[in-house]
Amino acid sequence: MTEQDFILLPYPNTLESGKITWESPSNIALVKYWGKKKDQIPENPSISFTLSNCKTITTLSFSKKENITNFEFDVYLDGEKKDDFKPKIQTFFERIEIYLPFLRNYKFKIETKNTFPHSSGIASSASGMSALALCLMSVEKQLIEKVVPSSAPDCYRDETSSSNEYFNQKASFLARLGSGSACRSIEGDLIVWGKTNSIEGSSNLFGVKYPYKIHDVFKAYQDTILLVDKGKKQVSSTVGHNLMHNHTYAKNRFQQAHDNLEKLKTILESGDLDGFIALIESEALTLHAMMMASMPYFILMKPNTLEIINKIWKFRQETGLHISFTLDAGANVHVLYPKNETSEILEFIKNELVAQCQNGHYIYDQIGFGARLIKN
């Protein structure tokens, strides 16, 4: 697939108004994406678990308007109007207008809410932008689904798996132009983004389902998210990605990600939990090491982040249980473990780790299977 495949002929239908609701999950990368080129193209491939409980629910209302010179929209988070979100949506619309040429024809009301704290390292931009992209794709599908030109993709002809594949690919493609990691939130359970020789069918343009054998132990993996700091990050992910340009260690880091994806294929197939733990913890610490080695340098981990990591290491050594951690671009800790060890590990989390969380808050989550249309 190329960018041209996502540009359709003029729409044969018109819509006066409507309302669509999608919910889309966050995701947690195992091999991290850090650094990007022009047009949200990743410098290195990544792979993520799609989550289940951490999600964004977005309702898109739209009505036809006469003036098509500008984009017109309002954004609400938890019922409160958020004009500070508008510049990011404006940029998003400008990037995707060539692929969704109806955007200037409607006034949009974007109402969104999260099941987790915004801007705190749980990839709210991933779930938020993917939910919005899916809403917009549903509008496009209505504009073209009844009368289909012969050159239109099969996705608008029926509800077969091939049609869903195109819909999901274009939604992922659009979401990427809003937030890179958002392209990994459309589907589940393991999603790869970024072209690499290790994964057949991988693409820089959109996320793809991991195509190889996965051991049963990884099909119901658990993720308890410890909310160390629910405040807004002092350095945004966008700024952090840009600091990878001319980074002293960038070239080696990008190659490391390719190598780790190749190693992970064997681990996922065999169920090698020790190998999995070593790889994902190394990836998490490498991500934050790249931040600390940037110029200017910055640290997103907090003292309690390190306290939690050390407690996890000690508990794992003492018990032999397969508890591990990973981090996104923030202070919060994702505690990962196999489902059959849930009882002992949750008891440890509640007794030893929750005290390091802000107000004792944490989220119990697990691997999920992608976004869901709620109302169309």
Same domain? For 143 and 247 the reply is: no
Cβ atoms within 10 Å, residue 328: 26
Same domain? For 207 and 247 the reply is: no
Q: What is the pLDDT of residue 4?
A: 94
pTM of the model: 0.93
Sequential pLDDT tens for the chain (376 residues): 899 999 988 888 899 999 999 999 999 999 999 999 999 999 999 999 999 999 999 999 999 999 999 999 999 999 999 999 999 999 999 999 999 999 999 999 999 999 886 655 565 889 999 999 999 999 999 998 754 445 556 555 554 455 789 999 999 999 999 999 999 999 999 999 999 999 999 999 999 999 999 999 999 999 999 999 877 788 888 899 999 999 999 999 999 999 999 999 999 999 999 999 999 999 999 999 999 999 999 999 999 999 999 999 999 999 999 999 999 999 999 999 999 999 999 999 999 999 999 999 999 999 999 999 998 8
CA 294 to CA 237: how far, in whole Å?
Answer: 13
**What CATH number has the domain bearing residue 311?**
3.30.70.890
Same domain? For 36 and 171 the reply is: yes
Same domain? For 94 and 206 the reply is: yes
Same domain? For 170 and 284 the reply is: no
**What CATH number has the domain bearing residue 11?**
3.30.230.10
Domain interval for residue 134: 3-211+369-375
Same domain? For 194 and 237 the reply is: no
Q: What is the pLDDT of residue 149?
A: 47
Same domain? For 160 and 261 the reply is: no
Same domain? For 84 and 154 the reply is: yes
Same domain? For 198 and 273 the reply is: no
Same domain? For 169 and 242 the reply is: no
What total number of domains does the chain contain?
A: 2
Same domain? For 96 and 138 the reply is: yes
Same domain? For 293 and 356 the reply is: yes
